[in-house]
Chain A
């Protein structure tokens, strides 16, 4: 599907990844975190090629790279609190009260206070996405991969989520933001890559992409906006 896709993400930077449906944007994110295995190439994280690592070797990598799924992918048999506790129970030696404190802190930061005991199906789409983000944030990853986080959200929830990501950016978060939502991407990304027919067709700063005179880039950003 891809051939010659190459890009770097610097620490503290958010890279936007655009492309029409079916160009494999999510596939790139899934490959980065090891959910898919490309036939060839390299994925360098902290100076080490992580392509080809087995599931056990990928665990330390996955603790440092968070993946925010398009639909939240919350565990539907667990409550909000249990969903958020899950990574801490698996990867830390924190006591249950310490875990609860961390969970409550994060829920408060993401405007989800008091939802501890609800199951995911009792939450709205926007809430589910924020819980999904909270579950990723709770381990304090170095990089966050956002897979269409604003898809299916109403303008108010989109704005709320974008503000949360903006605040995270201020704390020095590194991320890759896959989206069709160009205005949201303009608001938070530092650079943008446009994927077309399996290749990166354009890669530049957000400002330069916005003001690009390239007809393909103009056509793409205007059609998608």
Chain B
């Protein structure tokens, strides 16, 4: 079999450096394959819709609960923090900006990375171990088309929409806390939020989640397709995907924010 020097190097996961080579190489190849096959028929629309249901619809409740809690906590923290300086009235402005630009996309993506990343890695990993992926190929069908592309597209559609819902619910939570705890009424909160937020706050927030979705779903598929061994290997793959995705989200969020500051956000 193809076992040249670079193959051996890339397969040696024991060393962190070669593991990075293995991942970046494998991820790039899978990325190219997925993008190429995405344009070629057949197209499995039903599978994409099914994945949107699993990834998007079934995550709504989880996203809403955490977004509500996040919005409430942020309003409380900023409220009591700014009260010392007489800045309670700035809470709607600050909270809405923080939620839309950072907390909404990052929290939602971290949550979904945990739920979806681990789900994809374990599903694909168990299919790989039980030779179902091989069976798919042996029957003349492409696992990239049947598994990877539907999950990738569904994630890229679902993540921004979930973020949109999370932003909305968070703002509602913050508004309720402002009203009940800080004495800021709804009308004032809504007026200040509308005055503060711009459409680019929303679009950059959603753009971030598209990048996160692309990375999380492809990483999870790649790890699943490269799972070797038994049930323990599936567990290891799952953990690896969640950890890697979370790190990626935090690091790439910094660079994306910097990019948006340089290109999209107006100068202060």
Contact = CB atoms under 8 A, between A and B. Distances in A.
Interface of A: 1, 27, 30, 33-39, 55-56, 58-60, 62-63, 66-67, 69, 71, 73-76, 86-87, 90-91, 135, 139
A132 to B, nearest CB: 8
B131 A38 contact: no
Given A1-B1, A38-B1, A39-B2, A69 B131 contact: yes
Contacts of B130: 71, 73, 76
Contacts of B137: 34-35, 55, 62
A35 B138 contact: yes
B134 interface: yes
A83 B42 CA distance: 19
B132 A75 contact: yes
A135 B131 CA distance: 15
A86 B2 contact: no
Nearest to B131: A73
A62 B135 contact: no
Interface stretch (B11-19, B139-147, B154-162, B246-254): B139-147
A67 B138 CA distance: 7
A223 to B, nearest CB: 28
B135 A63 contact: no
A34 B142 CA distance: 13
B139 A87 contact: yes
Nearest to B42: A90
Contacts, number: 59
Main secondary structure of the interface of B (DSSP, over half): loop
A66 B139 CA distance: 7
Contacts of A91: 140
Nearest to A65: B138
A55 B142 contact: yes
Interface of B: 1-3, 40, 42, 130-132, 134-142
Contacts of A86: 139, 141
B134 A35 contact: yes
Nearest to B141: A90
B43 to A, nearest CB: 13
Nearest to B142: A55
A88 to B, nearest CB: 10
Contacts of B139: 62, 86-87, 90, 135, 139
Among B1, B138, B142: residue with most chain A CB under 10 A = B138
Contacts of A33: 138
Contacts of A73: 130-132, 134-135
Given A69-B131, A69-B135, 14 more contacts: A1-B1, A30-B134, A36-B1, A38-B1, A59-B140, A62-B137, A62-B139, A66-B138, A69-B134, A76-B132, A86-B141, A90-B139, A90-B141, A139-B139
Given A36-B1, A39-B2, A75 B135 contact: yes
6 contacts: A39-B3, A55-B142, A56-B40, A62-B140, A73-B131, A87-B140
B195 to A, nearest CB: 50
Among A30, A36, A73, A76: residue with most chain B CB under 10 A = A73
A88 B92 CA distance: 58
Q: What 9 pairs between A and B have smallest CB-CB spacing?
A: A73-B135, A62-B140, A73-B131, A67-B138, A59-B140, A63-B140, A87-B139, A90-B141, A69-B131
A35 B140 CA distance: 11
Contact of A37 (B1, B42, B140, B142): B1
Nearest to A147: B131
B131 A90 contact: no
A211 to B, nearest CB: 36
B226 to A, nearest CB: 15
Contacts of A58: 140
A39 B2 CA distance: 6
A185 B132 CA distance: 26
A49 to B, nearest CB: 17
Nearest to A37: B2
A180 to B, nearest CB: 19
A188 to B, nearest CB: 21
